[in-house]
Amino acid sequence: MGGKQKTLAVLIGTALAAGLTSPAFGSTAPDAAQSPTVRTAAPGSGMSVVDWNRELITILSDPKAQPSTVHPTRSFALLQAAEYDAVESITRVGPAYLFTVSAPRGARADAAADQAAHDVLVALYPAKRASVDQRLSSQLSAIPNGPGKRTGMSVGAAVARRLISLRSRDGSAAKPPPFSPGNKVGDYRRTPPDFPAPVFTNWGSVKPFVLASGSQFRPAAPSAVSTAAYATALNEVKGLGNKTSTTRTPDQTAAAKFWAAAPVWNVWNQVAQSLVTSQNASLEQAVKVFAGLDLSLADTAIAMYDAKYAYRVWRPVTAIRLGGTHYNPGIVGDPNWTPLLPTAPDPSYPGAHGALSQAAATTLAGFYGAKHPLAVTSKGVTRTFAGFQDAATEAWLSRIWSGQHTSLDNRAGQQLGTQVADFVAHHL
């Protein structure tokens, strides 16, 4: 049942070893930062794709791994797109994401995927080369030496090289312009308690991986902050999202903290890891699942930031604290109101958890079915759901319970995530 919570004393490694049939993902930030045990996946197995995905999560657990202005979803998309096109270059069982390269008869698809993954990660994170080299050596050791292995590696290297080159001018390296907060009613401005500066002010202009532009599915303008619709949505957050709320249930509090404990794109990638693992997916199946997921997440992030900085709507904490200025007769201000969790440093509309979780749930439901039960685990806590949509819905509701977003933000995010995921699915 969606939202049901229980505490587990088992680690994710134990859970996977036990062969759980319900997909679950392992502990995130702190546990992912530990060096994973390098093991060897069987040739042709989807586990090699899982291992490379975990390698990237481990790399990203180091806050110094890449500039803070580069969104992590770009790295996931590059990794998974490279593996996907490397495999497709050899198998030719489906359409390429972007291109295929010439592959001699007998070239090993698993060697191609491993080499492509390695080369992308080395290009993105040269300081992490030692651990990435170790991962490649381990993966390739399971593949018999011979011409097929060598030519497969050449195919993977060629795909990675070409993809990195094509994405080198996508705008992701551009220095974000300084953010100038607005001073009109409804304008976004920095939020307490630390008033951090926004980081991804220009991410909406980055070239998408599949969409034509970041504005392709831009949501309609939100309700004005002077309207009754906005007052209703904000008052819901005021009551449920208050740090000392008496109307928020203990389970809602737990869910709010759960979905904020790790980057939401990590959460959904780890869900995919467990799906691939529990179902013993083939290499071809695994690269397709991860490519669909991470291309959708990357383009949703771009589209989401395009909309956020097109509309620049203030956050609930600002709106509630300034309610005493009487910009809306349906809102009673509270200058001391504090959300359950600190507010993220970017505009409110559309909501990130709504957009990203909806994109992930839509994508995974397309592969596994809408009613696929799953258990999502983080830091020793497990929440179980009847299907992907239930998990995504709780993710965006959690942002109301934590005082981050209104239902207006969340509905726009859900719509955006669905549209992006559907578009990617029809172009992969």
pLDDT tens digits, one per residue of 276-291: 999 999 999 999 999 9
* Statement: residue 395 has pLDDT above 50: yes
CA distances, 178 to each of 201, 213, 336, 413 (Å): 8, 23, 29, 25
The confidence score (pLDDT) of residue 378 equals: 75
* Statement: residue 56 has pLDDT above 60: yes
Surface-to-core class of residue 285, CB atoms within 10 Å of its CB (0-12 exposed, 13-18 middle, 19+ buried): middle
Spatial strand order of the sheet with 381-385 comes to 4-7, 381-385, 374-378
* Statement: residue 40 has pLDDT above 50: no
Phi, psi at 5, each rounded to 5°? -125, 145
The confidence score (pLDDT) of residue 14 equals: 25
User: What is the value of pTM for the model shown?
Assistant: 0.89
Nearest to 29 by CA among 72, 85, 87, 93: 72
The confidence score (pLDDT) of residue 43 equals: 60
The confidence score (pLDDT) of residue 258 equals: 96
282: helix, strand or coil: strand
d(CA 88, CA 288): 10
pLDDT digits (tens, 9 = 90+) for 377-390: 777 788 999 999 99
Mean pLDDT of 97-116: 97
Mean pLDDT of 168-196: 94
The mean of the pLDDT values for the chain is 90
The confidence score (pLDDT) of residue 22 equals: 27
The confidence score (pLDDT) of residue 19 equals: 27
Give the pLDDT band of residue 428 (cuts 50, 70, 90). confident
* Statement: residue 427 has pLDDT above 70: yes
The confidence score (pLDDT) of residue 82 equals: 98
**How many C-alpha atoms does 170 have within 13 Å on its Cβ side?**
26
Give the pLDDT band of residue 42 (cuts 50, 70, 90). low
d(CA 93, CA 56): 27
Cβ proximity of 156 and 114 under 8 Å: yes
Q: Which two tokens stand for residue 74?
A: 């770009």
The confidence score (pLDDT) of residue 177 equals: 86
Phi, psi at 336, each rounded to 5°? -110, 5
d(CA 415, CA 417): 6
Surface-to-core class of residue 286, CB atoms within 10 Å of its CB (0-12 exposed, 13-18 middle, 19+ buried): buried
pLDDT digits (tens, 9 = 90+) for 292-335: 999 999 999 999 999 999 999 999 999 999 999 999 999 999 99
Give the pLDDT band of residue 128 (cuts 50, 70, 90). very high
* Statement: residue 104 has pLDDT above 90: yes
Give me the domains of the chain, ranges plus CATH numbers: 4-172+225-425 (1.10.606.20)
* Statement: residue 28 has pLDDT above 90: no
The confidence score (pLDDT) of residue 20 equals: 24
pLDDT digits (tens, 9 = 90+) for 165-181: 999 999 999 999 889 99
The confidence score (pLDDT) of residue 12 equals: 25
pLDDT digits (tens, 9 = 90+) for 251-260: 999 999 999 9
Cβ proximity of 113 and 90 under 8 Å: no
* Statement: residue 17 has pLDDT above 50: no
d(CA 132, CA 117): 9
pLDDT digits (tens, 9 = 90+) for 224-251: 999 999 999 999 999 999 999 999 999 9
* Statement: residue 15 has pLDDT above 80: no
The confidence score (pLDDT) of residue 178 equals: 86
